[in-house]
Structure 1
Amino acid sequence: MTQQTHQSAGMKWWRMTRPHTLTASFVPVILGTALTLEYTYTVRWNLFWAMLTASMLIQIATNLFNEYFDYKRGLDTKDSIGIGGSIVRDGFEPKTISNLAKLLCLISLFIGLYICIHSSWWVGLSGIGCMAVGYLYSGGSKPIAYTPFGEIASGLFMGLFILWIAFFIQADTLTMRAVLISLPIGFLVGAINMANNLRDLDNDQEKGRHTLPIVLGYERAVKVFSYVIATAYLWMVGLVLAHVISFWALLVFLSLPKALRAILGFKIKRTALELMPAMQATAQLSTLFGLLLFVGIILEHVV
């Protein structure tokens, strides 16, 4: 019984981190590092692991702040759909969650200091910006999560900025090629956020939020969601045709079935519970697309 209790407690803590969102932190890091093969075949592994750890800790801290402030504002109940609402559902102390989020941010700051010592202090400013957005997404007097700009904030700071920093600390520069190749990752990280807001549209509207799906309306929001995902694929085709990246990048199209599942899921279903598979497919799409692009980048240099 004790072992089962420990396993149950461990699972609750695991759910609290919202593991399906962690793709938004580790995929940009591995891609940003892989893109530096254009300049060097030697990866500075100490900076890679430091960056990967800091990024994932910031992502988890962001999720914990979101959990805490959603509870404080009364958004979460025991009937909340998904893995959010752990405080009310699993009995966590709100202050414990808040303090843990702050601790993870503090650890990330020390890791960031180490990265700065071995690269550039400009990296520290960028990292602090990402951390600040992670807090302000759900904290502060006017949380980003209550506005139509959540998708842009997550795509830019948790997708593109992390990839750019990962590239910079390895190559000591940031190239236009890296920026162009990174954009689809930003699109898909933003799509994860939009999928979450589509699922929560009715509840968010009742609580006074003005997320992008609420502003656009459900049907138009699903169209925008579909266009964003389609743009990620078309962008890669354009980069291949423009000789910015090799044809190996088209491996990302192996993830297309997952994209179609996500899009069709939102078009066919409507209630929060029914939309859970579509939201999960969106997170899986971001992971699979990013990993396939990583493979394509590696093959570009070894084949």
Structure 2
Amino acid sequence: MTLTARENPGLIRSWLAFTRPKTWLIAVSPVIASLALAWSETRAFEPLTALFTISIAILMQAISNMENDLGYAERNAERGNRRGLPRATTMGWISLPTARIAIRIGALLALINTAVLIWIGGWIFLLIGLASLVAAYSYMGGPKPIAYTPFGELVVLVFFGLTAVCGTYFLQTGNISINACLLGLALGSVASGVLAVNNFRDHAHDASIGRNTLAVVIGKPGFLQLFRLLMLVPYGSLVIMAVNSNSLWPVLIAFATLPLAISIAKNLALKEHEELNEVMFGCVKLEGIFSMLFAAGCILSVFIENL
């Protein structure tokens, strides 16, 4: 049964709907994979630095989710033809003033966390932290939200892929490797796939409210082709990494997720409406499993090298 504004699910479920912790895996996975890569290539690992890197990743994902939820309510963008998960502010489960306060608290915590990363890694992380906050706010906030343009998937790839992986790697090692960039591209592509499914599911609704997402702009056939490419990019990156660094060949174990990626791409074309929510969370699952297997491959490469 679909919940309505009068059917409040309770405090905990309301805040879970607002912050959407199921999506936090998208933020944590690149950090874990990058930590493993940094250790395998340089033997560098600072636990406290890793902890603050993971916490800032979760904070930025939560802020993005909350700002997206609030932005929809502020713009009265909810229509009866949207097929996505219920939004806490639109449903009346969380008031707009409370939502704004929560976002400000999250931003303050993110700035404090960023200050620690600046102390560890230098002033470049002030720029990264501020850019991440601006991107999180601008997705549904401001006069020209990113969510109303075709650039949402690209922003996700940059911040939840390349920035997350390369930033984590740099904090541990003091530099950035080619393999870190390839890993960022791989995981950023899967993270972009999560948003791509979301936008594909709601393309009719988005078009009706003037949201010119990539799914709206290029149409169904082109978008499906692009999504298939996003699902294959990680495996091309794996091959290049294995060729680029002979000792890293164990990361090819992440190819075990290829059937899942192919299945997700097929289901995007076959399913519709609320059924696509399962496909979207399939992308989240794919990123998590891919990252865990990649990390395991990195660790295995070190043990094989030491034999």
Whether 1:280 and 2:258 are equivalent positions in the alignment is no
Whether 1:136 and 2:138 are equivalent positions in the alignment is yes
Give 1:22 deviation, angstroms: 1.2
Aligned pairs for 1:67-86 (under 5 A) are: 67-76=69-78, 80-86=82-88
Distance 1:245 1:64, change over 3 A: farther
Whether 1:174 and 2:176 are equivalent positions in the alignment is yes
Q: Distance in 1 between matches of 2:280 and 2:64?
A: 19
* Deviates most, 122-131 or 209-218: 122-131
Give 1:24 deviation, angstroms: 2.2
Describe the superposition over 1:14-60 as per-residue Cα deviations: whole angstroms up to 9, x where unpaired: 12212232122101111222222145435211111111111101110
Aligned pairs for 1:39-118 (under 5 A) are: 40-76=42-78, 80-89=82-91, 91-118=93-120
Give 1:167 deviation, angstroms: 0.9
Give 1:90 deviation, angstroms: 5.0
Q: Distance in 1 between matches of 2:244 and 2:170?
A: 24
The gaps in structure 2 that reach 5 residues or longer are 1-6
Whether 1:196 and 2:198 are equivalent positions in the alignment is yes
Q: Secondary structure at the match of 2:275?
A: coil
Q: Secondary structure at the match of 1:205?
A: helix
Distance 1:196 1:14, change over 3 A: same
Counterpart in 2 of 1:264?
A: 266
Give 1:7 deviation, angstroms: 8.6
Q: Distance in 2 between matches of 1:179 and 1:156?
A: 11
Q: Distance in 2 between matches of 1:99 and 1:31?
A: 33
* Deviates most, 166-175 or 238-247: 238-247
Whether 1:300 and 2:293 are equivalent positions in the alignment is no
Counterpart in 2 of 1:157?
A: 159
Counterpart in 2 of 1:126?
A: 128
State the AA in 1 paired with 2:234.
A
Distance 1:19 1:11, change over 3 A: same
State the AA in 2 paired with 1:302.
F
Counterpart in 1 of 2:4?
A: none
Give 1:80 deviation, angstroms: 4.5
State the AA in 1 paired with 2:259.
P
Give 1:84 deviation, angstroms: 4.0
The gaps in structure 1 that reach 5 residues or longer are none
Give 1:12 deviation, angstroms: 2.2
Whether 1:213 and 2:215 are equivalent positions in the alignment is yes
Describe the superposition over 1:156-214 as per-residue Cα deviations: whole angstroms up to 9, x where unpaired: 01221011111111111112232123211111111111111111111111110100011
State the AA in 2 paired with 1:125.
L
Give 1:246 deviation, angstroms: 2.1
Q: Secondary structure at the match of 1:85?
A: coil
Q: Secondary structure at the match of 1:217?
A: helix
State the AA in 1 paired with 2:78.
D
Q: Distance in 2 between matches of 1:283 and 1:274?
A: 15
Q: Distance in 2 between matches of 1:6 and 1:226?
A: 38
Counterpart in 1 of 2:186?
A: 184
Distance 1:39 1:289, change over 3 A: closer
Count of aligned residue pairs for this structure pair: 298
TM-score, normalised to structure 2, is: 0.90
Q: Secondary structure at the match of 2:274?
A: coil
Whether 1:222 and 2:228 are equivalent positions in the alignment is no
Q: Distance in 1 between matches of 2:247 and 2:202?
A: 37
- CA RMSD in angstroms comes to 2.1
* Deviates most, 234-243 or 128-137: 234-243
Is the 1:67–1:84 Cα contact (8 Å) retained in structure 2? no
Describe the superposition over 1:190-245 as per-residue Cα deviations: whole angstroms up to 9, x where unpaired: 11111111111111111101000111112221111011111221221233234366
Identity of aligned residues (%): 25
Give 1:79 deviation, angstroms: 7.4
Give 1:105 deviation, angstroms: 1.0
Distance 1:64 1:245, change over 3 A: farther
Distance 1:62 1:78, change over 3 A: same
Aligned pairs for 1:235-254 (under 5 A) are: 235-243=237-245, 246-254=248-256
Q: Secondary structure at the match of 2:175?
A: coil
